[in-house]
A and B are shown apart, each in its own frame.
Chain A
Amino acid sequence: MDRRTETENDNLDWLNPDLLIEFIDQLRASGYKIDISKYIAAQDLILILIGRGENLDSPESLRSLLAPIFCTSPTEQAEFQYHFDNWVKYIGQSRFTTIGEKDGLQAKKPIKSRSVLVILSLIFIGFTGTYIFSIPKPLTPPPPIPETKPKTKATCQPESQSTKPKKPKPLQPKPTLPQTPIVKGPLICIDKIDISINWSLGLVFFFTPFAVFWIGKLSWFLLARRLFLQRYGMTEQPELHHISIAGVEQDLFPPAIFIQTARNLRRRIPIPCDRLDVEKTIEKSLSRWGWFTPIYRSYQVIPEYLFLVNRNSFQDHQAQFVEEMIDRLKQDKVLITSYFFDDDPLICFPSDGQGTPMRLDEIVSKYSQYYLVVVSDAGKFFSPISGELESWVSQLILWKDHAVLTPKPQSNWGDQEDELEVEQEFILLPATPEGLRDLSQRLSGKVYNPPISQDNGLDFSPLPEMLRLRPRRWLERNSPEPEKVVMMLDLLAEYLGKDGFYWFCACAVFPELQWNITLYLGDVLKTEEGKSLLESCSLMNLTRLPWFRYGYIPDWLRVYLIEALTQEQDQSIRIALRNLLDRVNQTSEGGLTLSIATKPLKNQSDKFFSQLTQIFSGRVSENSPLQDYLFLDFMTKPSPLALRVPEKFGGLVSKSQKSGSEKGKINRRRFLEMLGLGIAGFVSVIAGKRAFETRTLQLTKGCETFQFDVLTVNKQGQIISRRPGQAKSFVEQLGNNVTLEMVEIPGNSFTMGSPLGEKSCYDSEQPQRVVNVSAFLMSKFTVTQAQYQQVMGKNPSYFKGEKRPVEQVSWDDAVEFCKRLSQKSGGKYRLPTEAEWEYACRAGTTTPFYFGETITSDLANYNGNYTYASEPKGKYRQETTDVGSFPPNAFGLYDMRGNVWEWCQDTWHENYEGAPTDATAWITEKEDSSRVLRGGS
């Protein structure tokens, strides 16, 4: 029950006559020929359908029923679907939403989105900024100055005596250790983490220039932007928006003349036909004694006229002027068909823009019953080379009545006009309302009063020869020599008169020549005497100028013309234009339609990068033909050629939808831009990497700082200082509550090997050299038996004890351990290289031991019976001790000296001759190559 009423309501909703009438009004506004009877027919139809119990649930069911009522041509029929869709949508909307609000929002949108963009990028920058600077400072404060990699600074004293030099594996360490444990080198680098840190930082650096650039540009834009119209050359067609401006129609012509003209032209004319006029025939026959004498009837028909208008270009003002006159006559019900041709009527184009071009012979046969009126300069009838009549003229005179309307003022007519008039029997008249009136009188057979040349001082001057002979030269993109231009402008000022020249200049202010704007300016702008330009100058004179024929003023000329204006004049023109553009509206089909494209935002960066591009490519090549388009642009610095428009304008030119697809295209220029930005990004990555090099090491998981004391001893083995140290470490869980603690070792360079003359140094530790070590992680303790057991599942040690270091491990075992550990943890564990080991052991010290000048058995587990310096003899424990029993070095690493020997990656070499200086493992492939052991007792 409820449902039913609802649907009924719906029905009522959209069948509401007001809605339907609104729809029909829209159609009418779009140019459909609809009169009252169609409104009624549509209503009737709906009533009939309802009366017949048809189901009219939705407007959709009417789609194909309404079209036949309203359409009168195939195009209308095709467009009807679109209008209908709109209407259906509108009905749907009006039921749920209010439409007004939405429109308001849309107008604001472009501005809003831009500021949103700025805010977003600010947020982005802020975020990345904090990200960069929140990276923790270098780990251990004291250790070697975190210098950049390539620099070599620290010269360190090797500590190597007591350490076993690199020893071939089979050679058991010489020391008298009871245990000859071979202990796993704990050094393990987690490269993976390292890399990921660098990578993300790199990205940040890479994008920083982009972001900064964007923000700069956008905020500059927001601060200083204004909306301008400007003309740009484009090689491809941009997406054009059509904006119509209402209320620019002027009363160009005195109505009185046209009413008279139209009446004359509409006067019916008799045409003969093959039908008998029965009464007259009978009468006549009777009067001839019954001898059959047929009298044929004649028909009164409304005469029809064929206008062929010479039109140089789509914006040809002269043709527009004629068209305006034709339109006036058509409004007055004169039957006129008009065609355009470009200098040569062999091919003519229908004036409504629809339909196919026609050949002259087709036109001759189709319109033979018409009166022919050609609107063209008489000069076009003659060949420019031979001076003979063009061949097509013979086709034109096939029409019984043929007339020529020429834009040339009558006072300048010469031989050519004479020949046309006398020899070819053209009716020759000036192409003015008066000329048209005279034509109508001649054609309708009225007595024709030859025009008294009403020279009101306007139509006098002939077109300057400079312009007449080579009109195209003044239309080129590149300016001729300045002297010539100045000369031409002088002539022009003379030809047009002061006010006419002012009008011309005013037309140059708008980026495009538009017939309607020309008229509007002529109407609005005043001469010094306060009359409008339209009244006081001859529009014909203006439209004869080549620029108005072709509808284009090149930019160089516009500059000259705009400069010729006084500031006051310039101001009033711009205000007038802004007022005009303020009348813009989207719906009505006004007299003036502008095709405008928005200048895509990216083009601003184009400007910025065009210089860059030119550096790369020398010159931007524009090989396809340029075409000028009118662009709506945000600009900060107005050029004299741009025209400021009201903001309202911007709202109507909606955002370009096509730009997305165009973005996909990468042309050379774009490629170079990308390249430029890419290089900038790359450079900044390098710079950033340098600046932040030492900070980049960061632990992401389970990272914590631990404190410890660093001891220093003198030669006597007495503790002379105790500094607190700290380092970062993270804990790798090996399972079973067994953990592996890794300490962060910052990268730096150090001097490796023992200096000559240091006590108990081996040849194999010579010569000293500077090695660069990048940051890595190293196990805080030597690998314990618990850890080894957990990873390898066995414990080969001699001295058992969970916390004791594992021994009796071969190099291969050690490598295997690393491999398994890597698999288990996902990190990348390996043995340290010898350089890394030594660097870690020294921890920035240059003394023989990291404790200072010597070592005592309180500081490490070794054979205390031997002394290095002047320290007293110490304990010889003869077994391994729990890891971490002795104080650590400055990096926070324990047991680097003593307790057990530690494996390195490197193969053993006689000395350091030819060893790498970048802390990579020095491995020489030999069959029996042995590996390096370091750090034992």
Chain B
Amino acid sequence: MKFPFYRGEGIQRKVESQSILPVSIRSQLLKPEYYIADPGLKDACNVALLLGQPLLLTGEPGTGKTQFAYSLAWELGFDLPLKFETKSNSTYRDLFYTYDALKRFQDVQLGNNVATQALDYITYQALGMAILQTRDRHEVAQFLPSDFPDFDKKRSVILIDEIDKAPRDFANDLLNELEQNMYFRIPEFGNVKIECDPELQPIVIITSNSERDLPDAFLRRCIYYHIPFPNGERLRNIIDHRLGMNVSDPFFRSLLGLFEQLRDRQSGLKKKPATAELLSWILVLEKFNIISDGSQRNLDLILSTLSSLIKTTEDREKAEKIVKQWIEEQKQKTTT
């Protein structure tokens, strides 16, 4: 079997319609209903909810930190979480809103007197949006730009992603904001204070790739959970739940064995494949009918699917060696 779509031979083929390219199945995977939380994570989350403290999640990339926020919002019946992507120059104010002074300046410069209302140059960000949405619309109408979407009074989940990217002060400043009843001020409006409804405090989920760069004071204020890499049983559970595959199939088990082998310290891989990569890898294998076919003929194809699992050249060589060895074993197993 060849790669069905792209041949790289410099020959263009007439294709009937573009739609024969597959829809990304991976995006399906990200649906919150497929998420299975670690039991510890479940408890940690409940503690955070009970105490009303932010939940800080760490863990290897690909263990589902970000996913968790979506799953939480989904299970609680909330709208999608409001996500704040941390940048290396984020300041805490960016969490609430951004104010485009430059554009306003330009507009004024150009003499467009049409829109000189400060309001129109404000874009609310995750936390600001969440706080506004805890109030009735008429209470905060004065702060809303004209194009602000309609909303009902509601509670939301806020996801502050990869906080370790931000400068050190960011986390410390954030503390103050999260500590008491949330509010923010907009100096551009003469420092009005916009407070959130204490009943509807937003639920804050913070993720970080390494806890070490976070200040102690910040760590102390959070409920913390490190998502461990799922072990064999849980991994099968996840796959079963997300992909609906028959995980008890011996061939499938040995595939998982291969995956664990790759993750093993002895494999010497620098960047170990994570759950997310495993899922997409299995999807690829499925596409090539390797799994359902269940056997030897296509085993060699596995090598060509490795790119969904292994991301660096250095690792690739090592991984290929392991996979080849594994394929040999499989072939022997079936012949004997």
Residues on A with C-beta less than 8 A from B55 are: 68
Once the chains bind, are B109 and A64 in contact (CB under 8 Å)?
no
Residues on A with C-beta less than 8 A from B101 are: 276, 278, 281
Say yes or no for A290: interface residue by CB 8 A criterion: yes
In Å, the complex CA distance between A857 and B50 comes to 119
In Å, the complex CA distance between A48 and B222 comes to 18
In Å, the complex CA distance between A301 and B53 comes to 27
Once the chains bind, are A67 and B44 in contact (CB under 8 Å)?
yes
In Å, the complex CA distance between A154 and B106 comes to 138
Say yes or no for A35: interface residue by CB 8 A criterion: yes
Once the chains bind, are B105 and A72 in contact (CB under 8 Å)?
no
Q: A33-B216, A64-B44, A274-B89 are in contact. Are A72 and B50 (CB under 8 A)?
A: no
Please provide the chain A residues from 39 to 72 with a CB less than 8 Å away from any CB of chain B in the complex: 41, 44-45, 48-49, 64-65, 67-69, 71-72
Give which listed residue, B43, B168, B216, contacts A68 with CB less than 8 A: B43
Say yes or no for B40: interface residue by CB 8 A criterion: yes
Say yes or no for B226: interface residue by CB 8 A criterion: yes
Once the chains bind, are B102 and A276 in contact (CB under 8 Å)?
yes
Chain A 280-318: CB-based contact to B (< 8 A → 1; otherwise 0)? 011001000010101000010110100000000000000
In Å, the complex CA distance between A274 and B101 comes to 13
Please provide the chain B residues from 284 to 298 with a CB less than 8 Å away from any CB of chain A in the complex: none
Residues on B with C-beta less than 8 A from A282 are: 105
Say yes or no for A9: interface residue by CB 8 A criterion: no
Residues on A with C-beta less than 8 A from B61 are: none
Q: How far is the CB of B234 from chain A (nearest CB, A)?
A: 15
Once the chains bind, are A48 and B220 in contact (CB under 8 Å)?
no
Say yes or no for A475: interface residue by CB 8 A criterion: no
In Å, the complex CA distance between A274 and B88 comes to 12
Please provide the chain B residues from 225 to 253 with a CB less than 8 Å away from any CB of chain A in the complex: 225-226, 228
Once the chains bind, are A302 and B168 in contact (CB under 8 Å)?
yes
- Interface size for chain B: under 10, 10 to 19, 20 to 34, or 35 or more residues? 20 to 34
Q: How far is the CB of B194 from chain A (nearest CB, A)?
A: 21
In Å, the complex CA distance between A45 and B47 comes to 7
Say yes or no for A273: interface residue by CB 8 A criterion: yes
Say yes or no for B66: interface residue by CB 8 A criterion: no
Please provide the chain A residues from 248 to 285 with a CB less than 8 Å away from any CB of chain B in the complex: 273-276, 278, 281-282, 285
Say yes or no for B169: interface residue by CB 8 A criterion: yes
Say yes or no for B46: interface residue by CB 8 A criterion: yes
In Å, the complex CA distance between A285 and B219 comes to 43
Q: How far is the CB of B166 from chain A (nearest CB, A)?
A: 12
Residues on B with C-beta less than 8 A from A335 are: 168
Once the chains bind, are A273 and B89 in contact (CB under 8 Å)?
yes
In Å, the complex CA distance between A44 and B109 comes to 56
Q: How far is the CB of B43 from chain A (nearest CB, A)?
A: 4
Once the chains bind, are B220 and A44 in contact (CB under 8 Å)?
no
Residues on B with C-beta less than 8 A from A292 are: 105-106, 109
Once the chains bind, are A44 and B51 in contact (CB under 8 Å)?
yes
Once the chains bind, are A41 and B167 in contact (CB under 8 Å)?
no
Residues on A with C-beta less than 8 A from B224 are: 68-69, 71-73, 77
Give which listed residue, A69, A74, A299, A304, contacts B223 with CB less than 8 A: A69
In Å, the complex CA distance between A33 and B219 comes to 8
Q: A41-B53, A49-B50, A281-B105 are in contact. Are A64 and B39 (CB under 8 A)?
A: yes
In Å, the complex CA distance between A72 and B226 comes to 9
Residues on B with C-beta less than 8 A from A278 are: 101
In Å, the complex CA distance between A67 and B226 comes to 10
A51 closest partner in B (C-beta): B50
Say yes or no for B58: interface residue by CB 8 A criterion: yes
Residues on A with C-beta less than 8 A from B177 are: none
Residues on A with C-beta less than 8 A from B46 are: 65
Residues on A with C-beta less than 8 A from B311 are: none
Say yes or no for B48: interface residue by CB 8 A criterion: yes
A273 closest partner in B (C-beta): B89
In Å, the complex CA distance between A574 and B216 comes to 42
Say yes or no for A16: interface residue by CB 8 A criterion: no
Once the chains bind, are A37 and B51 in contact (CB under 8 Å)?
no
Q: Kindly name the residue among A67, A281, A282, A285 whose own CB sees the greatest number of chain B CB atoms within 10 A.
A: A67
Say yes or no for B26: interface residue by CB 8 A criterion: no
B216 closest partner in A (C-beta): A33
Residues on B with C-beta less than 8 A from A41 are: 51, 53
Q: Kindly name the residue among B55, B101, B224 whose own CB sees the greatest number of chain A CB atoms within 10 A.
A: B224
Give which listed residue, B47, B89, B106, B225, contacts A77 with CB less than 8 A: B225
Say yes or no for B31: interface residue by CB 8 A criterion: no
Please provide the chain A residues from 344 to 395 with a CB less than 8 Å away from any CB of chain B in the complex: 355
Once the chains bind, are B51 and A72 in contact (CB under 8 Å)?
no
In Å, the complex CA distance between A655 and B327 comes to 49
Residues on B with C-beta less than 8 A from A299 are: 167
Once the chains bind, are B220 and A68 in contact (CB under 8 Å)?
no
Give which listed residue, B58, B105, B212, B220, contacts A285 with CB less than 8 A: B105
Chain B 157-186: CB-based contact to A (< 8 A → 1; otherwise 0)? 000000000011100000000000000000
Q: How far is the CB of A280 from chain B (nearest CB, A)?
A: 11
In Å, the complex CA distance between A73 and B101 comes to 40
Q: A278-B101, A282-B105 are in contact. Are A37 and B221 (CB under 8 A)?
A: yes
Q: How far is the CB of A284 from chain B (nearest CB, A)?
A: 11
Say yes or no for B277: interface residue by CB 8 A criterion: no
Say yes or no for B211: interface residue by CB 8 A criterion: yes
Once the chains bind, are B105 and A68 in contact (CB under 8 Å)?
no
Give which listed residue, B89, B169, B220, B225, contacts A37 with CB less than 8 A: B220
Say yes or no for A38: interface residue by CB 8 A criterion: yes
Q: A68-B44, A301-B168, A301-B169 are in contact. Are A45 and B51 (CB under 8 A)?
A: yes
Say yes or no for A34: interface residue by CB 8 A criterion: yes
Q: Kindly name the residue among B47, B55, B167, B223 whose own CB sees the greatest number of chain A CB atoms within 10 A.
A: B47
Once the chains bind, are B219 and A65 in contact (CB under 8 Å)?
no
In Å, the complex CA distance between A163 and B193 comes to 138
Chain B 25-41: CB-based contact to A (< 8 A → 1; otherwise 0)? 00000000000000110
Q: How far is the CB of B6 from chain A (nearest CB, A)?
A: 34
Q: How far is the CB of A771 from chain B (nearest CB, A)?
A: 70
In Å, the complex CA distance between A298 and B192 comes to 26
A290 closest partner in B (C-beta): B109
Q: How far is the CB of A341 from chain B (nearest CB, A)?
A: 19
Residues on B with C-beta less than 8 A from A38 are: 220
B59 closest partner in A (C-beta): A74
In Å, the complex CA distance between A302 and B212 comes to 17
Q: How far is the CB of B143 from chain A (nearest CB, A)?
A: 19
Residues on A with C-beta less than 8 A from B50 are: 44-45, 48-49
Once the chains bind, are A72 and B211 in contact (CB under 8 Å)?
yes
Once the chains bind, are A72 and B44 in contact (CB under 8 Å)?
no
Q: Kindly name the residue among A49, A71, A302 whose own CB sees the greatest number of chain B CB atoms within 10 A.
A: A71
Chain B 203-227: CB-based contact to A (< 8 A → 1; otherwise 0)? 0000000011000100111111110
Q: How far is the CB of A251 from chain B (nearest CB, A)?
A: 25
Q: How far is the CB of A339 from chain B (nearest CB, A)?
A: 13
A66 closest partner in B (C-beta): B47
In Å, the complex CA distance between A19 and B44 comes to 22
Q: A74-B58, A290-B109, A302-B168 are in contact. Are A65 and B211 (CB under 8 A)?
A: no
Q: How far is the CB of B215 from chain A (nearest CB, A)?
A: 9
Q: Kindly name the residue among A48, A77, A282, A304 whose own CB sees the greatest number of chain B CB atoms within 10 A.
A: A77
Once the chains bind, are B169 and A77 in contact (CB under 8 Å)?
no
Please provide the chain A residues from 66 to 118 with a CB less than 8 Å away from any CB of chain B in the complex: 67-69, 71-74, 77
Residues on B with C-beta less than 8 A from A48 are: 50-51
Please provide the chain B residues from 133 to 168 with a CB less than 8 Å away from any CB of chain A in the complex: 167-168
Once the chains bind, are A68 and B47 in contact (CB under 8 Å)?
yes
30 A-B pairs in the complex with CB atoms less than 8 angstroms apart: A33-B216, A34-B220, A38-B220, A44-B50, A44-B51, A48-B50, A64-B40, A64-B44, A65-B46, A67-B44, A68-B44, A68-B48, A69-B224, A72-B216, A72-B219, A74-B58, A77-B224, A273-B89, A275-B89, A276-B101, A278-B101, A281-B105, A290-B109, A292-B105, A292-B109, A299-B167, A301-B167, A301-B169, A302-B168, A335-B168
Give me 5 other A-B pairs in contact (C-beta within 8 A), A33-B219, A44-B50, A69-B47 excluded. A41-B51, A68-B224, A72-B216, A73-B58, A73-B211
Top 8 A-B residue pairs of the complex, sorted by shortest distance between their CB atoms: A68-B44, A64-B43, A72-B219, A74-B226, A278-B101, A68-B223, A77-B226, A68-B225
